[in-house]
Every structure is written in C-alpha cells, then in structure tokens.
Amino acid sequence: MTAFLAGLRQLRQYPSAVIGMTMVLSLLVLSLVTVLTIPYSEAIRLWRGAAGVWDESPELARPTWFQLFSARKLPKTIIVDTRQGGKEIANQPDGTRVVNASLRFAFPYDELPSAVGLWLSATYKEAQPFVILTWRKPNGEEIALEERTPQQTDRYFVSRDERLRERLQARSIEEALFDAGPRGNGALLRGTYELAVEGILFEPDADLEARLVVYGKVHGIAGTDAQRRDLSVALLWGTPIALTFGLLAAVGTTIFSLSISAVGTWFGGRLDASIQRLTEVNAMLPGLTLLVMIGMFYSRSLWVMLLAIILLSMFSLGIKTYRAIFLSLKEAPYIEAARTYGAGSFRIIFRYMIPRVIPMLIPAFVTAIPGFVFLEASLSILGLGDPDIPTWGKLLFDAYANEALFKGYYYWVLEPAALLMITGMSFAMSGFALDRMFNPRLRTA
Amino acid sequence: MNAGSTATVTVPPSRSVWRETLHRVGLYTLRRIAVLLGTVVIGTYLAVLIANWGGEVDKMREAQCKEKAGMSIQADPALQFLPPEERRRRYEQEVERCKQLQGLDRPFVARSLEYLRDALTLSLGRAMQLTSDSGSREVRNIILERLPATLLLFGTADLVLFFTAIAIALFLSRRYGSVFDRLIVALAPTSTAPGWFYGIFLILLFAGLLHLLPFGGMVDIPPPTATVEYAVSVLHHLILPVAAVVIGSICLSIYSWRTFFLIYSSEDYVEMAKAKGLPSGMIQRRYILRPTLPPIITGFSFMLISLWQGAIILETVFNWPGLGRLLYSAIGSQDTPVIVGTVVIYGYLLALTVFVLDIVYALIDPRVKVGERGIGS
C-alpha cells in the first residue's frame, strides 16, 4: 500500500502521465457507458440503417453545438403528428367521413429547413382515402400541395416533388414553403406554420393519420451523415472497438514476440539465428499491402484483420530488444538456481524469464496501442473496414467518399479525427511518461 | 577503443589496405543484396500465396485465357462463316490449350513458383479494370507510370524530414532542458498518429478554410504546358503532403536523436575535445554526429519502411497519382493483377530503400571498411 502511494506521489511529477492516464480512464468509462446503454446488436441495427430507422433524422445535419459558432439560429428537426391531437372526424350525409387535421408548428429559425416530408398512414379495406393538403404560412399565404390517395403507408417527400416545384415556379420547395410570396422569393417567415390535412374516407372503419417532418440543419451532439445516420452512434461505439482492437493487438503481438524471443534466446544456436533472420525479413515486408490483400480476398472482419496483424507483427523488431534483455537474464543467478534444481526449459522460460521482463515492457506496450488503432483506421480509409461494425476509420472513409472536406462538412471529419487523436495521444503520453519514469537516465526537468 | 585501434586507423592507407577495404565493402554489399533479394522473394511469395488462397490468381489467368481466345476467334476471318456451335467448340479448345500452356492443370506448388517468377518480373499481364494514363492495360505499364509520382513525393518528404530532424536534434542537444527542448519532448507522442492523419487537418485548414493550397492532386487541371509553370504547380501541390509526412514523424525523430546526441556528448573524448578548445561546430560534426550517425541511419531506414506504407493512405487522402492511390483504386475496382503488382513493387521499394541506406551506412561506419577484427589488431 505504501509502495502504491509512493508510486502515485512519483507519478505526480509527470504531468503528461497524469493527463494521459486520465484521458485513457475517461475513454474506458465512455466505452463502458456506451456498451451498457446501446447494446451491440442495437448499434449494428442502427448503423446498417435498415428501412425506416433514420427516416426522421435530417441529411448531412451539423451537430447542435455548431450553433455556438454561428450568429444565425439554425433549424432543428420539427415533427408534428395527428396522433398527438388536433384531428376531427365528421360524418357526411352520403356515408363518407371527412377528417380534418391541422399540423401546426412554430418556426423561429434564421435559415430554411433542409427538407420537408410527410408520412400518411391510412386504414381501409378497399377504397383508399383521398387527401387534400394545404400549407399555410404565418402571413396567411396558402399553397395547395399535391393531392394524394395514400395506401397503408404513404411517404410524401414534399421536397422532392418536382411537379409541385414547377407549378409554383420556385427555385426550391423549401423556399416556396418558408419564404414570403407564392414563389418563395421574399424573406424567410418566422412564426406558426400549419399544414391542413383534409381527408375523405369512403369506409365506416377507415382512418387516416399524418406525420409531418420538417428536417432541420442541426442534429444531436454529432450531426448526421449523407445516409441520415446519427454520427454519435458510430462515434460512441467506435470507442470500445478501437480500445479493444488496440489492446488485443498490442497484447497479442507482445505475448508472441516475447515468447518467440525467449525460446530463441534460451535454446540459442540455429533456432535463435533463424528467428533473427526471420525478424530482419519481416521488418522489410510490405505488411500493410499484405493486409490489404487479405482484406480484399478473404474477409474484412475486424477479428480476422486483428489475427492477421498479430501474425504479421509477431516477428517485429521488438524481438531484438527482448533478445538483448533475455541474453543477460539467461545468466542471472536465479535462473542458474532453477536449472540446478532441475526445472525444465519451458518452465524456466514461461515461469521465470518472461514474467521478469514484463514490467520493463509496459511503457513500450502502452506506446504500441495507438499504432494499432491507427492501423485499423488506415485499413478502413482504404475501404477495407469491417462491413458491420461502426468504427472511427469507417466514418473517415464515408466522409472522404462523400468529399466532406471539399464540400465543407468539416464536423464529419473532425469528430472521428478528434477521437482518434485523443486516443492516440492519451496512450502515447502515458507510455512516454512511463518510459521516462522507468528509465530515468534522461529525465527532463 | 584502445590505443591499437587509433594506430591502425591513422596509418596512411597503402595499396593493399585499400584493396582489403574494397574487398570488405564489396562483401558487405553482396551480403546485403542477398538478404534484401531474399526478403523480396519471400514477400512476393507470401503475396502469391495469399492471392491464390481462394484461387484468385487462377481465376485471373483463366479470365485472361478466355479473353485471348475470344479475341483470336473474333479476329480470324477464316472462322467468320462457321456455325456458332463450331465456333464455340473452337473457343473452348483454344481456352483449354491456353490453360495448359499456363500450367493451370499442374499442381499448385509448381504453379506458385511460376507465379512467383512472373510477379518478381512484374509480368502480371493485363489489368482487369484499370488503365494507365497512356491507355495501356499492362499491369507493368500502369505501375511504372505511377512510380515517379510516389518517388517524388516521398523522396522529398524523407530528405526534408531527415535533415530537418538532424539539425533540430543537434541544436536541442546543446540546449538541453530549454523551453523548445521540453516542447519537443511533450510533442513526441504526436508521432504515433500517421502522416495522413495530419494531412486531413492540413487540407481542412489550408485548402478548406484559407484557400491557400490545393485540396489534392499533383498538378493544376489542365496541366500547364510550360516546363517552369508545370514545376511550380507541382511544387504548389507538393507542400501539403510533404508537410503531413514531416509533421507525422518529426517530433519523435528529434526526441530520440537528441537523446542519442546527449548520451554521446557526455563521452570522455568529447570533454577532451572541449578542453582542447575545439570550436563547437567541429565537436558536433566530428565527435558527436560521426559516431551516432550509423545507429541513426539504421533507425531511419526502419522509419522509412513504415513511411512507405503510410504512403498508400497519404496518397489516397491527397489524391496524389502515385502507387498508393493506384492501390486504392485497384481495391475499389477489385483489380487483382494490379493489387498483386503493387504489393511486389512495394517490396522492391522497401528493399531498395534499405539498400541505399545500407550503402550510406557502409560509407560512414568505419567498422564496415576496416572490419570488426581490424579494429582490435
């Protein structure tokens, strides 16, 4: 306990270690919270974005905090539903019934919404209802939208209604609906808008519901991508994935390299020499291109890649460093003692030699983690990311494929990049500081 | 080092010593060439094995046979009037003959050696989708056309990186503990992120926000016709990617090299030189840089290996028309021959890089010239 406290006190002298470890700790907490709040299957379902999952989120919306940098108030997504009230049904003398619903919403923003969509759901047996849609602006102007005969579910994406746009002679539907003037060439109108839905039902049991979605330009804490997916899902889930990947790769590589070099050093001779030659060859292999081939021809699964990475970096240059340590360790008295009482070679290697060097290797181990995290991101950027699992690298790939930098969707690039940076820096800072603590030969200040 | 060593080194080189030195350096070079070629062969064979694990190379060969047979049947005027079944039969025959010629009926081990030979000589036939800018579909032409762009970018970046890092590291070793020194130590962890990662930020800042430099590519579109303007345009496009490579590695290099210099500058012979009153520039060049350069060169050559591979993504991010960008498009269009070809050329590039640095090493490390035994005697 006192040793632990002394260690903590020593740690205080290294601010970068404290910062780094705090960052690592918060990343771990974030991963834990993510895994507990969004189950894995749910994350994959959301990220695959099956039909209907992201219908109500805007396309390419900036994160809400973007507002802080903009003097203009950007619209958020507004959803109004007849199920929340405001619907009246009146029986007509001819046996039909008339539904009157008013979808009202306040619009206090400084910019046009990104799109307008309407979902109609009708219950009927044979005769489809007939729906008349009227749009009322705050200044009293009215626009008649297309008339529809909805099926069970009918999606009317008003923004893409070319016929309506031509009829109104407007530049865009949003302008026509939200700017003053019948063609929408005036100023943006703030106030209460209304979409009047008038439906005629031809059957006694028939019913009609409507849901209006006015898509905003900001969404959530992370914004959305071109497929309307909320980036926060991938950003959050990317954290445990990146940490797990980096840790497992570092652990796997270290364990294998250590064992190989310990076995080689212990037995010496040809085995040792061939391990050394293999290490030299392996160091000059174009590893990343070989990984690309594996991803191309076999599997893009993250776990297959992890295995391939471990196999390719097993004979890493680290072996040379370990070898130097083991060579001196081999002559240590306690190994001599173990040998005299008759311990077997493998007992000596795995019980006495390897455990002895592990503490020395912790700094290098911690420093190696971000390299693997960035390797996964590199593979993802080449389009070889795991098809199912959302990762930061895949976000960057999507952003790059959609020319996000060129088109100014900076948040799409900056968010995963920032998380990668934080992860990389936190481990690297901790590792470097640990190295200076453990090898205090050139302690800085 | 003992007194004997100084004696051997200071003896004016006579003819026989020169011959012996040449002999040693030659032997060293040959040994390195053998090791490096061996590495290329192993790497390429691995690539062949991975590529043909699922029979990909076989499929590629078969597709090429089919294409060739189809073309030869089409082009033969004597076969134009044959009934379709007959032509079909001839086509199958032709494909079969070609497959036998290619050895597709032989066991894989024998074939894999053949593939290895073809891969090493880059005779990988025709690409499935991609073409070179001159319109050729030969894999070799496509790859060789992209090579200069990659060499230009990474040659420049590596040279800038090496000399800047050495200069700053030397400067810092004299100012140990200064603010700048501590800044570099604090920034050393930034090198865990690869160059392309900083490239994204650089593009965002200098191209997206400031509009000072281009988003990517190698020259303006359309390319300027005058040579000088062309060169200026290429330089203009070169700034950001080179900066990205340098930023991605420089802090760690400076940090570790300065540590090296610091260790060596506390050696007794450096103290002795200082006591003699030698100018500090001379002490740095002769007494610190000289003994530290060999290990630095070795470390640098391993760094270059990872830089070369980072090139794949860096070129993709910067849209630089080099090998990395080629590999990216080959992945996108599932072009197996081009992918295998790129792996092989990367193998060659890595080996060549290491070889060049080995030669530099031989030139600066006296042990290679004199021989380990020569020092003691």
Question: A401 touching B, CB under 8 A?
Answer: no
pLDDT at residue B374 in the model: 46
* A196, A185 contact by CB (below 8 A): no
* β-bridge partners, A211: A81, A119
In whole angstroms, what is the distance from residue A393 CA to residue A187 CA?
Answer: 42
Say yes or no for a CB contact (<8 Å) between B327 and A296: no
pLDDT at residue B165 in the model: 92
Question: A283 touching B, CB under 8 A?
Answer: yes
Segment B190-204 mean pLDDT: 87
pLDDT band at A440 (very low <50, low <70, confident <90, very high): low
Segment A344-371 mean pLDDT: 86
A419 secondary structure, DSSP code: H
pLDDT at residue B371 in the model: 62
Length of chain A: 445
- Cis omega (within 30 of 0) on the bond before B366? no
Question: A434 touching B, CB under 8 A?
Answer: no
Express as a percent the part of chain B with pLDDT over 90: 4
Among A63-72, A180-189, B135-144, B231-240, top mean pLDDT goes to B231-240
What ipTM is given for this predicted complex?
0.79
Q: Which residues does B343 contact at the CB level (< 8 Å), separation at least 6? A: A286, A289, A290, A292, A293, B43, B44, B47
* A444, B182 contact by CB (below 8 A): yes
Question: A418 touching B, CB under 8 A?
Answer: no
Burial class of residue B304 in the structure, from the number of CB atoms within 10 Å of its CB (0-12 exposed, 13-18 middle, 19+ buried): buried
In A46-75, the residues whose Cβ lies within 8 Å of chain B are none
pLDDT band at B370 (very low <50, low <70, confident <90, very high): low
In whole angstroms, what is the distance from residue A132 CA to residue A199 CA?
Answer: 6
What digits encode the pLDDT tens for the residues A152-167? 788 888 888 888 888 8
Strand-pair category, A142-144 with A87-91: unpaired
Say yes or no for a CB contact (<8 Å) between B53 and A297: yes
Burial letters for B15-44: b for 16+ Cβ neighbours within 10 Å, e otherwise?
eeeeebbeebbeebeeebeebbeebbbbbb
Among A16, A293, A400, the residue with its CB nearest the CB of B47 is A293
- Dihedrals φ, ψ of A117, to 5°? -135, 155
Question: A384 touching B, CB under 8 A?
Answer: yes
* A200, A130 contact by CB (below 8 A): yes
Question: A445 touching B, CB under 8 A?
Answer: yes
Burial class of residue B198 in the structure, from the number of CB atoms within 10 Å of its CB (0-12 exposed, 13-18 middle, 19+ buried): buried
pLDDT at residue A205 in the model: 79
* β-bridge partners, B319: none
**Locate tokens 């209604």: which residue?**
A161
The pLDDT of residue B65 is above 80? no
Task: Residue B197: list chain A partners with CB under 8 A.
Answer: 374, 377, 417, 420-421
Q: How many Cα atoms are found within 13 Å in the side-chain-facing hemisphere of B98?
A: 20
* A325, B348 contact by CB (below 8 A): no
Q: Coil, helix or strand for B13?
A: coil
The pLDDT of residue A73 is above 80? yes
Nearest residue in A to B56, CA atom: A297
What digits encode the pLDDT tens for the residues B115-135? 788 888 877 777 777 777 777
The pLDDT of residue B208 is above 90? no
Segment A140-154 mean pLDDT: 80
Segment A395-408 mean pLDDT: 84
What digits encode the pLDDT tens for the residues B244-260? 999 988 988 898 888 88
pLDDT at residue B103 in the model: 67
Task: Residue A408: list chain B partners with CB under 8 A.
Answer: 208
The pLDDT of residue B6 is above 50? no
In whole angstroms, what is the distance from residue B104 CA to residue B121 CA?
Answer: 20
Among A290, A298, A384, the residue with its CB nearest the CB of B47 is A290
pLDDT band at A250 (very low <50, low <70, confident <90, very high): very high
* β-bridge partners, A197: A101, A133
> What Cα–Cα distance (Å) separates residue B305 from each residue in A81, A282, B35, B73, B347?
60, 11, 16, 47, 10
pLDDT at residue A189 in the model: 81
Closest of A40, A315, A435 to residue B42, by C-alpha: A315
Query: Residue A105, Cβ neighbours under 10 Å: how many?
Result: 13
Q: CA torsion B119→B121→B125→B128, rounded to 10°?
A: 50
The pLDDT of residue B81 is above 50? yes
Which has more pLDDT, A368 or B15?
Answer: A368
> What's the mean pLDDT when you consider all of chain B?
80
**Locate tokens 């594996």: which residue?**
A294
- Dihedrals φ, ψ of A86, to 5°? 85, 20
Say yes or no for a CB contact (<8 Å) between A286 and B327: no
Amino acid letter for position B346 = Y
Sign of CA dihedral A35, A37, A41, A42: negative
Closest of A219, A225, A243 to residue A402, by C-alpha: A225
Q: Coil, helix or strand for A122?
A: strand
Probe site for chain B from A13, A280, A285, A422 (most B CB atoms < 10 A): A285
Segment A437-441 mean pLDDT: 67
Among A136-140, A236-240, B126-130, B300-304, top mean pLDDT goes to A236-240
* B123 Cα distance to chain centroid: 20
The pLDDT of residue A392 is above 50? yes
Strands of the A130-136 sheet, one edge to the other? A87-91, A97-107, A191-201, A130-136, A142-144
Say yes or no for a CB contact (<8 Å) between A400 and B317: yes
Among B177, B182, B313, the residue with its CB nearest the CB of A382 is B313
pLDDT at residue B311 in the model: 82
What digits encode the pLDDT tens for the residues B158-178? 899 999 999 999 888 888 888
In whole angstroms, what is the distance from residue B144 CA to residue A122 CA?
Answer: 63
The pLDDT of residue B157 is above 80? yes
Nearest residue in A to B176, CA atom: A444
> In angstroms, what separates the C-alpha of A16 from chain B's closest C-alpha?
8
Q: Which residues does B374 contact at the CB level (< 8 Å), separation at least 6? A: B8
pLDDT band at B54 (very low <50, low <70, confident <90, very high): low
Q: Which residues does B322 contact at the CB level (< 8 Å), separation at least 6? A: B146, B147, B149, B150, B153, B311, B315
> In angstroms, what separates the C-alpha of A388 from chain B's closest C-alpha?
18
What digits encode the pLDDT tens for the residues B289-337? 888 888 888 888 888 888 888 888 899 888 888 888 888 888 888 777 8
pLDDT at residue B53 in the model: 67
The pLDDT of residue B12 is above 70? no
* A376, A305 contact by CB (below 8 A): yes
